[in-house]
Amino acid sequence: MRPAKFDYVRAASVEEAVRALEAAGPEARVLAGGQTLANLMRARVVRPSTVVDISRLSSLEYIRAEAGHLAVGALSRLRDLEASALLRDACPALAEAAAAIGDVQVRNRATVGGNLFNPEPSSDVAPVLLASDGTVVVQGPGGRREMPAEEFFARPLGSPLGPAEVVIEVRFGRSGAASAFEKLSRRAADPAMASAAVFLRTEAGAISEVGVALGAVHERPVRAAPVEERLAGSPLDEAIATAALREFCAGLSPPTSPHADAAYRREVAPIVALRALRRAWDRAGGR
Amino acid sequence: MRIAMSINGTDHEVDVDARVLLADLLRDDLGLTGTHLGCEDGKCGACTVLVDGQATKSCMVFAVQADGSAVETVEGLATGTTLHPIQAAFHEAHALQCGFCTPGILMATKAMLAGGEELTDARVRTALAGNLCRCTGYTNIVKAVLEAAEALGREPTDAGKAAAKATRTEPVGATAGQ
Amino acid sequence: MATTTEVSQVQGWVGRNVPRRQDARLLMGHGRYVDDLKLPGMLYCAVLRSPHAHARIVRIDTSRAKAMPGVVEVLTGAEAAGFSGPMPPTINIAMTLNESYAIAVDKARYQGEPVAAVAAVDRYRAEDALEEIEVEYEVLPAVTTIEAALAEGAPLLYEEWGTNVELAWGMKTGDVDAALAASDSVVEATIPHHRYTGTAIEARGVVAVYDAIDGELTVHMSTQAPHQCRTLLAETLGLPEHRVRVIARDVGGGFGNKLQVDGEIVPCLLAIRTGRTVKWTETRSENLRSGVHSRDYVWEMTGGFSADGRLTALKTQLAGDAGCDGTNRSSGVGALLVAAYYTPGAYHLPVFSIDVTGVVTNKAPSGAYRGYGKDVATYAIERFMEIAARKLGVPSDELRRRNFIQPDEYPYTTVTGPIHDSGDHPRLLATAQQMLDHDKFRQRQEEARQAGRYLGIGYASMLEPSGAAVPNCIFNGYEPAIVRVSPEGGVTLLTGLQDIGQGVETTLAQVVADELTVSPEDVKVVYGDTETVPYGLGPWSSRGASYGVSAAVLAARKVKEKILKVAANLMEAPIADVELAGGAAQVRGVPEKRMTIADIGRAVYLWPGPYVTVPEGEEPSLEATAYWTSPIVRWIPDEVGTLSVYTTHPTACFGTIVEVDPQTGQVKLERVVVAHECGTIINPMVVDGQISGGTVQGIGGALGEELRYDEAGNLLNTGFMTYLAPTAADVPPIEVAHLELPSPFTPLGTKGMGEGGAIGAPAAVVNAVEDALAPLGIALSELPLSPDRLLPLIRRAQQGG
């Protein structure tokens, strides 16, 4: 299928992109890697009046360790995240998530910012961002603002953004924490049936800080806050973790897709989270 | 919109509507019908070309996005009627049957072999997860890629080096994945 | 310049891995697929399709669409019916036919059925125009399962039928009830199999060129059966068949899906209406929604066993879902009849009965996909034997061995009529077990179980009847070939077969080269143009190496005969003393009396010409036509209904080792092996490729591929994102071992092959997964074996359910 007609604007700067979005109104869409948007447009499920192409804003491609967080430019390509030695060291969950998204061709173009908007049934970067207690930096007509990841993922997808606001940076928190990402999918390169990200720190053999988040198993990517509370303060006990995860996941409303039904997603979510917990714990030097 | 790109080393300037897919530009407007279309949700990879050295699904890119880029299609592989070593390896290994998915796989392979990592059966299969084939069952395709890797002595190509160059804080380098 | 290559006398081309001639153009991106064709003034067709599974078309308004710039024509079904007819049947045996039009006229019977079509100057504007067509539907209740279709008061697809039953047929070879009653054990099983299909990466496509002045239609098409498509098109469009030409050059896969015309008729209608060339390139979602579907059936099987585990009787019911049509739009319902005749599979079976019901439902039309009923039979009997083995407490390989047709029994006539030409099932099973190191695996399996891991091993013995000759059907049973030697000695073969990737362009050249003692390089294989090649039946039913090859061999032999006659005449030697070797006719024992084929060609045609070269009474040509028909086809049934329709029967044993993750229900394949037998092998490399490809399709069918409809008749799998065809990363290398047991029924002993992987692999995978989960006592039934089906079974078993 071919897309419906649209006006095309190539932005040479973020400011220009914001102005173009403002001028075009609410039916405009931002084009970054295009691996989600092009699909939706070809199916005519999405019919933007204007497409604002920000994919050449190379100033938004970076991975920087900053004070207390990892700053990743929104246009950083997933292939660069996958290959980044810095990430593999400082934030393996993000490198693992990037490597698990789609196939080589997709990762060559898809961006970390764009992935946050993946509806399919949800972004793989999202649980990593949530578990890291991260934030999303946007720029719009009113300037820059930063919002907590939880706020960003409120539904409908994209609704927390104001008119003409563009995601420019994604900040992953819990710097220095051990992390891991797990994903189950039907085939290689498929979207998740269930995914989980864990960040944790240990102190004197106990978990001093932990973030656990799940993807593709609820209406939105979700942080398992009650589970985090149960785990903090003790060494990792798999039985306790499993029980806490099961209790939490019982309250989820997973989507159903031809890849996996809701009941399955709810059932495996604790398993996937436990696998991520185990690996993060190992990485933190636990056991 | 007027755009310019080089395709297999030749410069082109075309007028194109924003909504025209790169694949359609190549096939319908430029007569390069070697790149094929097998689906519309970006899964089959038959449309894979190289854009600035990167394996890219040309059906998921608007032609206007390739403005200023160097595009490589399957037609640029052979020299006259002499097959590129990758093509020769596919021929010898019987790695194609109907041939419809083949150009996409050849281009994905070219990009794969431009990287520096060591290739194994498993790694090749993962790297080709974006290219569907219904005829071969992949057995001979993997063989062909590994044989081509050997034949090429695994030297990164010019395109591969260009792809490695980036304006990023942290050098990407030739290694990808674990 | 001589074109006949000197070939050493001991070399033959049959059995050699001759590299494929078509590879060069395909690798270089110069393949000639239908969408590559761009003709002057060509328009592009887009099709508006019913969003409803079942609906009356109340009103269509195309006026706004027609007024759009760049739109040349918009056709509704009612308008098209004014100058074309309904789709003729593709099969007509004991089944109820329907009257349907390529563009629906009064009713849409499946989601995706065409209701209007646009011709515009480019693809983009054609799709834009679809959005401006207004259709008012009266939505009707839909039936989407066999049960619903058969229920009392069910909504009817074809009201005039009074039922949704398209086929009701049965066969009984003896008193099966008495045999069951006399058996020591009786095993019952319900064996369902879901709906999926071939999804060649090139979907369907047509470029239709209508010359209104000459009244001739040329249709470039991605098809496996140019002649049958020509016949069907001519009838539908009301054109004289000899004024319709179908051309298929490179075809991007078929697998049985591209054997008829349905969607392909639409661009032809637009071409005739506009007098312009019209291209239709099917999208993937159109292909999944409206292309032929396959499988979708359920068996009830009751088998009797003697005390020593021998099958005594099999009483069965088979119900198949033919979608909205298994006769006219495509021929899927015939597969149920094929399945009936082949239910006994690889085994001795004294008494058999079957009741077959084919129903129509509000789903896409049902057609052929690698198997056409042979898959239905193999899956059923191979699952049944596994289930029976468990019930009888006998290892399943042992149960198979006790029942196999034995190697010294061939040719073997089964109780239903088919004659198996050659085979050795026990040896193939032994080979597969050896390849998988079966005994060592059992040890490893036990150790793994102690560690909480679930490994399994499974086999399926496959029978692949190939080369169908179905009466009253486009899958008929003959094949022509014309072999022609040119004045300078080059050879052309004109064949009714079509290369769809399976390599006939090369393999046919090999057999002709062998007969004429030249090189395959000297043989050009011409196919895919109804104007040029004789009326043949295309490659389906794996008939290439049976019908196609045999016809080519016979034609080549006739030409060889003629060459020798001319040579004997010119060299003044008795014909018995002249032999063909190394591309030359040689008088035995007289080395200087030698003429190359090129010498003979020149002499006959022009230099000097026939009057002094060709013996009296012979025609002045080095060309011959031959037809091959099967020596064993029997269309007249006996009193119990036995028939013989397939001529050659490749056999195989598929084996696989799997691991099931008990926490996630995911299945990983560790190894897949195929011990395969297909008579004399022409090109082993080509055979391996077919086996590998078909096996991965079979694996996909067992584990992920699915065409699922919800209750309202919405198809849920509409792209490769949701239709889970395996990627390279999802399957291991397919390992193949060969056994050659020539068929007594074909000139070279060849057997048509190619469908086997899709026929045999599914049961092997399901059997392996069931073996892996045996400690949990899980019996598998519903397919595919997706994680969300397996995990609940595992959980329930772990909880002691």
Residue C376 is part of a domain; what is its CATH number?
3.30.365.10
Amino acid at position C389, single letter: A
Q: Under an 8 A CB cutoff, do B41 and A88 touch?
A: no
Mean pLDDT, all residues of chain A: 96
Q: According to the model, what pLDDT value does residue C541 have?
A: 79
Q: How far is A51 from chain B (nearest CA, A)?
A: 9
Asked whether residue B90 falls in the same domain as residue B70, the answer is no
Please determine, for residue B151, whether its predicted confidence score (pLDDT) is greater than 50: yes
Shortest CA distance from A183: residue in chain C: C664
| Chains in contact with C, counting 3 or more C-beta pairs less than 8 Å apart as contact | A, B
Q: Which of C576, C593, C628 is the last residue of a domain?
A: C628
User: pLDDT for C120-164, tens place per residue?
Assistant: 999 999 999 999 999 999 999 999 999 999 999 999 999 999 999
Asked whether residue C644 falls in the same domain as residue C776, the answer is yes
The CATH number of the structural domain formed by A58-172 is 3.30.465.10
Q: According to the model, what pLDDT value does residue C171 have?
A: 97
Q: How far is B25 from chain C (nearest CA, A)?
A: 12
The domains spanning A58-172 and A178-281 adopt the same CATH topology: no
Please determine, for residue B165, whether its predicted confidence score (pLDDT) is greater than 60: no
pLDDT classification of B96: cutoffs 50, 70, 90 = very high
Q: Under an 8 A CB cutoff, do B128 and C731 touch?
A: no
Number of CB pairs, chain A paired with chain B, less than 8 A apart: 109
Please determine, for residue B158, whether its predicted confidence score (pLDDT) is greater than 60: no
Asked whether residue B38 falls in the same domain as residue B102, the answer is no
Asked whether residue B53 falls in the same domain as residue B114, the answer is no
- Mean pLDDT of the C59-86 span: 98
In a domain, residue B175? The reply is no
CA C787 and chain centroid, separation: 29
C748-782 burial code (b ≥16 CB/10 A, e <16): bbbbbbbbbbbbbbbbbbbbbbbbbbeeeebebbe
Asked whether residue C670 falls in the same domain as residue C761, the answer is yes
Asked whether residue B130 falls in the same domain as residue B67, the answer is no
* DSSP per-residue string spanning C51-84: SSSSEEEEEEE-HHHHTSTTEEEEEEHHHHHTT-
| Chains in contact with B, counting 3 or more C-beta pairs less than 8 Å apart as contact | A, C
Q: Under an 8 A CB cutoff, do B130 and A102 touch?
A: yes
Token pair listed for C590: 């007289």
**Judged by CB atoms within 8 Å, which residues 150-189 of A form the interface with B?**
187-189
- Mean pLDDT of the C470-474 span: 92
Q: Under an 8 A CB cutoff, do C198 and B134 touch?
A: yes
- Mean pLDDT of the B166-177 span: 26
Q: According to the model, what pLDDT value does residue C654 have?
A: 98
Tell the residue number behind the tokens 């509704």, with chain if given.
C76
How far is C380 from C305, CA to CA, in rounded Å? 17
Please determine, for residue B178, whether its predicted confidence score (pLDDT) is greater than 70: no
In a domain, residue C589? The reply is yes
Q: Under an 8 A CB cutoff, do B124 and C721 touch?
A: no
Q: According to the model, what pLDDT value does residue B161 have?
A: 41
How far is C484 from A106, CA to CA, in rounded Å? 51
Asked whether residue C699 falls in the same domain as residue C719, the answer is yes
Contact list, C131 vs chain A (CB under 8 Å): 4, 44
Asked whether residue C383 falls in the same domain as residue C495, the answer is no
In a domain, residue B38? The reply is yes
C274-295 burial code (b ≥16 CB/10 A, e <16): bebbbbbbbbbbbbbbbbbbbb
- Biggest CA pair distance of chain A: 61
Q: Under an 8 A CB cutoff, do C664 and A258 touch?
A: no
Contact predicate C456/C769, CB 8 Å: yes
Q: Which of C628, C651, C678 is the last residue of a domain?
A: C628
Of B20, B40, B125, the CB nearest to C283: B40
In a domain, residue B166? The reply is no
Q: According to the model, what pLDDT value does residue A287 have?
A: 58
Q: Is C203 on the interface with B (CB under 8 A)?
A: yes
Please determine, for residue B171, whether its predicted confidence score (pLDDT) is greater than 60: no
Q: How far is C127 from chain A (nearest CA, A)?
A: 7
CATH architecture assigned to A7-53: 2-Layer Sandwich (3.30)
Q: Under an 8 A CB cutoff, do B65 and A106 touch?
A: no
Contact list, A62 vs chain B (CB under 8 Å): 168-170
**Judged by CB atoms within 8 Å, which residues 191-210 of A form the interface with C?**
191, 193
Q: Which candidate, A241, A63, A96, A287, places its Cα nearest to that of A180?
A: A96
Percent of chain C with pLDDT strictly greater than 70: 99
User: pLDDT for A105-114, tens place per residue?
Assistant: 999 999 999 9
Contacts with C574 (C-beta within 8 Å, 6 or more apart), sequence order: C568
Count the Cβ atoms, other than its own, within 10 Å of residue B24.
24
Q: According to the model, what pLDDT value does residue C801 have?
A: 54
Asked whether residue C460 falls in the same domain as residue C482, the answer is no
Q: According to the model, what pLDDT value does residue A116 have?
A: 96
Asked whether residue B127 falls in the same domain as residue B95, the answer is yes
Shortest CA distance from C251: residue in chain B: B98
Mean pLDDT, all residues of chain C: 96
Q: In terms of residue numbers, what domain contains C220?
A: 34-140+203-251+258-290
Percent of chain C with pLDDT strictly greater than 90: 95
Asked whether residue C273 falls in the same domain as residue C322, the answer is no
- Mean pLDDT of the A189-207 span: 97
Asked whether residue C559 falls in the same domain as residue C667, the answer is no
Tell the residue number behind the tokens 């088919």, with chain if given.
C418
Q: According to the model, what pLDDT value does residue A63 have?
A: 97
- Mean pLDDT of the C429-444 span: 98
Please determine, for residue B174, whether its predicted confidence score (pLDDT) is greater than 70: no
Contact list, C734 vs chain B (CB under 8 Å): 137, 139
Q: According to the model, what pLDDT value does residue C9 have?
A: 35
Q: According to the model, what pLDDT value does residue C538 have?
A: 85
Q: According to the model, what pLDDT value does residue C326 have?
A: 97
In a domain, residue B113? The reply is yes
Cis ω before A191 (30° cut-off from 0): no
Q: According to the model, what pLDDT value does residue C11 have?
A: 59
Asked whether residue C234 falls in the same domain as residue C87, the answer is yes
Q: Which of C598, C628, C658 is the last residue of a domain?
A: C628
Q: According to the model, what pLDDT value does residue A212 have?
A: 98
Q: Is A271 on the interface with C (CB under 8 A)?
A: yes
Count of the separate structural domains present in chain B: 2
Q: Under an 8 A CB cutoff, do C685 and B94 touch?
A: yes
Cis ω before C192 (30° cut-off from 0): no
Give the DSSP H or E segment for C43: strand C43-49
Q: Beta partners for C220?
A: C207, C247
Asked whether residue C453 falls in the same domain as residue C484, the answer is no
Asked whether residue C704 falls in the same domain as residue C652, the answer is yes
Token pair listed for C722: 């949701």
In this structure, of A50-64, A147-161, C167-181, the range with the lowest mean pLDDT score is A147-161
Contact predicate B47/B130, CB 8 Å: no
In a domain, residue C195? The reply is no
Asked whether residue B18 falls in the same domain as residue B55, the answer is yes
Is A178-281 a domain of CATH 3.30.390.50?
yes
* DSSP per-residue string spanning C504-549: HHHHHHHHHHHHHTS-GGGEEEE-SBTTTS-S---S-TT-IIIIIH
Contacts with A230 (C-beta within 8 Å, 6 or more apart), sequence order: A240, A241, A244
Domain spans, chain A: 7-53, 58-172, 178-281
Asked whether residue C614 falls in the same domain as residue C646, the answer is no
User: pLDDT for C739-790, tens place per residue?
Assistant: 999 999 999 999 999 999 999 999 999 999 999 999 999 999 999 999 999 9
Contacts with C716 (C-beta within 8 Å, 6 or more apart), sequence order: A258, C708, C709, C710, C722
Q: According to the model, what pLDDT value does residue B85 have?
A: 97
Shortest CA distance from B16: residue in chain A: A8
Asked whether residue C623 falls in the same domain as residue C651, the answer is no
Number of CB pairs, chain A paired with chain C, less than 8 A apart: 64
Q: Which of B30, B55, B76 is the last residue of a domain?
A: B76
Q: How far is C741 from chain B (nearest CA, A)?
A: 24
In a domain, residue C402? The reply is yes
pLDDT classification of B116: cutoffs 50, 70, 90 = confident
Q: Is B18 on the interface with C (CB under 8 A)?
A: no
Q: Is A270 on the interface with B (CB under 8 A)?
A: no
Q: Which candidate, C558, C547, C480, C498, places its Cα nearest to that of C746?
A: C547
Q: Under an 8 A CB cutoff, do C787 and A258 touch?
A: no
Please determine, for residue B106, whether its predicted confidence score (pLDDT) is greater than 60: yes
Count of the separate structural domains present in chain C: 3
Token pair listed for A16: 């220009």
User: pLDDT for C23-57, tens place per residue?
Assistant: 999 999 999 999 999 999 999 999 999 999 999 99
Q: Under an 8 A CB cutoff, do C664 and A187 touch?
A: no
Q: According to the model, what pLDDT value does residue C460 have?
A: 98
- Mean pLDDT of the A8-14 span: 97
Q: According to the model, what pLDDT value does residue A120 have?
A: 75
Of B19, B60, B168, the CB nearest to A62: B168
* DSSP per-residue string spanning C284-332: HHHHHHHSPBEEEEEEEEEEEE-TTS-EEEEEEEEEEE-TT-SSSS--T
Q: According to the model, what pLDDT value does residue C5 have?
A: 36
Q: Is B37 on the interface with C (CB under 8 A)?
A: yes
Contact list, B17 vs chain C (CB under 8 Å): 124
Shortest CA distance from A76: residue in chain B: B168
Q: In terms of residue numbers, what domain contains B133?
A: 85-161
Amino acid at position B20, single letter: V
Asked whether residue B39 falls in the same domain as residue B16, the answer is yes
Complex-level ipTM = 0.97
Q: Is A35 on the interface with B (CB under 8 A)?
A: yes
CA C60 and chain centroid, separation: 38
Tell me, what CATH number does B45's domain have? 3.10.20.30
